[in-house]
């Protein structure tokens, strides 16, 4: 698998961390490089990750172990992904004529929890 590059403009260094935003909690989370590229996440090289600051009024949460991805973290990320539809486009047209549309579950969302020691 080819290494991903830093998301910063004009930077071609290899990415080592992934930055995501938890808008509801006004928190930017900088953690280990995700296993796959996500459209709403930013991959950063070591230099840009080390100089990163949070937007005004936001908190920056740095997750330790940016060079290691634990299986527990990957399992958690997989658990909160919304399920993919197994219905094909052809099935979708006939299903809508014969059956009511399925009720969609609300999107799952991770929240930042702080320990009482912080």
pLDDT at 15 over 80: yes
Q: Identify the pLDDT of residue 69.
A: 47
Distances (CA, A) of 78 to 3, 16, 27, 50: 21, 20, 21, 27
Q: Identify the pLDDT of residue 3.
A: 83
Q: Identify the pLDDT of residue 8.
A: 95
Q: Identify the pLDDT of residue 104.
A: 54
pLDDT digits (tens, 9 = 90+) for 58-83: 999 999 764 444 555 555 555 555 55
Contact in structure between 11 and 44 (CB atoms under 8 Å):
no
Which residue has better confidence, 111 or 11? 11
């Amino acid at each position: 698998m080819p290494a991903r590059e830093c998301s910063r403009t004009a930077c071609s260094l290899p990415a080592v961390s992934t930055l995501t935003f938890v808008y509801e909690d006004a928190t930017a989370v900088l953690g280990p490089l995700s296993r796959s590229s996500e459209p709403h996440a930013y991959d950063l090289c070591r230099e840009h990750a080390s100089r990163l600051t949070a937007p005004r009024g936001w908190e920056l949460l740095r997750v330790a172990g940016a060079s290691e991805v634990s299986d527990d973290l990957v399992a958690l990320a997989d658990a909160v992904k919304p399920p993919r539809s197994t219905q094909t486009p052809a099935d979708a047209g006939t299903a809508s004529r014969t059956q009511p549309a399925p009720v969609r579950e609300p999107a799952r969302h991770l929240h930042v929890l702080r320990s009482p020691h912080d």
